[in-house]
Amino acid sequence: MRKKVLVLGGNFGGLNAALGVQHEVEGDVEVTVVSAADRFLFNPSLIWLPFGKRRAADITFPLAPTFGMHGVEFVHAAATVIDPRARVVHTTKGVHSYDYLVIATGYRNTFDVLPGFDSVDEAHTITTLEDAVKAGEGWRRFLDDPGPVVIGATQGAGCFGAAYEFLFNTAYQLKKAGLRRRAPLTYVTAEPFLGHFGIGGLPGGEKLLKMFCKKEGIQTVTGVAMEELAPGKLRLADGRDLHYAYAMIVPPFTGQDVVAAVPDLADDKGFVPVHDTYQSLAYPDVYAVGVAAAVQVPWTTAIPVGVPKTGFPTEVQARVAAANIAARIRGEEPVAHKEFGAIPAICVMDAGNNGVMILADRMLPPRKFGVMIPGPQAHAAKLMFEKYFLWKSRHGYVRLP
C-alpha cells in the first residue's frame, strides 16, 4: 500500500514539503494538504499593501490548482485535533489518517504582550493579510489628518525585517507626500542595538542602519520593552510616552492552538522542538517546518527578542523534511540534516526606492562571514524576486532555487 503523507498548511513550508515529497517519491505516495487558507500568500510583500503598492490579488494565488496539477490532494479545512499516537488528524471536513505528518501551520499574533494593542484604532500590524488591509485603511485616514508616526517591534518579537522595511517605506511615503515635518517618525524596538534583527547582528549593520535613520530623520529607541498602548500614546517600560497619530507594531508569534494542545509535541509557545532532520523530538513520524518549528537561540538579551523564521529558511527546512520522509518511505534512515542556525541568511530589505541586501553563511553565530550591501539595486532585486517566487510557487516548481 502506498504511504500517506499529510501536510498541515499550504504556504511556504506546506507547499514545498508537499510537492517535495511528491517529486522525491515520484508519485508513489498519497500526499494530502489540509489548509485553513485556500490561497498562497507571499508575506514579504505585505509591507507594500498599506501604501497601495500592492493589492491582495497581486500577492496571492489559489492553492487547489497548484496542488492539483502535481497530483496532491488539497482540502480547504482547519485542523481541530492532532492525535499522533493514532496517526490521525481531525479537521472541519473530516478525519485524515497518515503515515507521516508535516506541521507547517505558521503562527498567530500574540497581542497580549502589549495591553491595548488589539483595541486601538490607529495602531496596526502587517503580519497577516487582514492586518495589512486594516493598516492600509488606517494609513489613508492618517493622510487626511497626519501627525507623529511610531513603528516598532515588541519584546519577544522576531520579525524585525518587516518592521525595518515598513519603517523605511513609511519614511519614503511621507517624503513623497510632503509630510516629513508634520509627521515625525520614531522606531522603537526590543533589539539591544539597531540591526540585531534577532540574529545577533552583522558586521557594520548597526552603523549602516544608524546612517539610514539619520538620513531620513528617524528617531530610534532600542533595548526597551513596550508597556501599554493607548489611543495616541505608546508607553514604554522605562516610563517614556511616545505619541502617535499612526502606529505599526510587530508583535511576537506563537504556534497554533491545535499544535499546542498535543501532549509533549510543542513547547510553551506552541512551536515543535525538532531534530536537524525536522522530525519532532517526541514523535518521529511527525515533522515541523517554518514558523511551526522551535528554534534554539544561542544567546540571551536584556529584553527578550525572537528569531526571524522567514521564507528562505522555511523552504530549506521543508526540503530537508521532504527528503527525509521520502527516505523513510523507501525504507532508509533520514538522509538530510540542516539545523536552523546553519542555514544561510539571505534577505533583501526594501526601503521604498532603496534597500539593503543581507548575506551571511549562517543564520545564527558563529559565522565565517556576513555582509550588508546597501543601494537601490536591493529594491529592484526585491521586486524581481517577488515576481519570480510567485511564478515558481504558483506552478509548483519547488526544485528551483
Q: Is 159 a catalytic residue?
A: yes
CA distances 156 to 230, 246, 301, 303, 313, Å, are 20, 22, 10, 8, 20
Residue 234's Cβ-count burial label (10 Å; 0-12, 13-18, 19+) is buried
Nearest to 151 by CA among 159, 182, 343: 159
Catalytic residue among 162, 322, 347, 360: 347
Q: How far apart are CA 222 and CA 196, in angstroms?
A: 10
Question: What cell does 37 get?
Answer: 487558507
Strand blocks (E) in 232-300: 233-236, 241-243, 246-250, 253-254, 286-288
287: helix, coil or strand? strand
Question: What cell does 183 get?
Answer: 509627521
Sign of the CA dihedral with 190 first, then 193, 197, and 199 last:
negative
Place of cell 496532491: 72
Read off the amino acid at residue 286.
V
**Residue ranges of the alpha helices (H) in 80-200?**
129-144, 160-176
Q: How far apart are CA 94 and CA 105, in angstroms?
A: 18
Catalytic residue among 18, 120, 151, 159: 159
Question: What cell does 64 get?
Answer: 487547489
Residue 56's Cβ-count burial label (10 Å; 0-12, 13-18, 19+) is middle
* 279 half-sphere exposure, CB direction, 13 A CA radius: 18
Q: Is 347 a catalytic residue?
A: yes
Residue 162: which H helix or E strand, with range?
helix 160-176
Question: What cell does 150 get?
Answer: 511610531
Q: Which residues are catalytic?
A: 159, 347
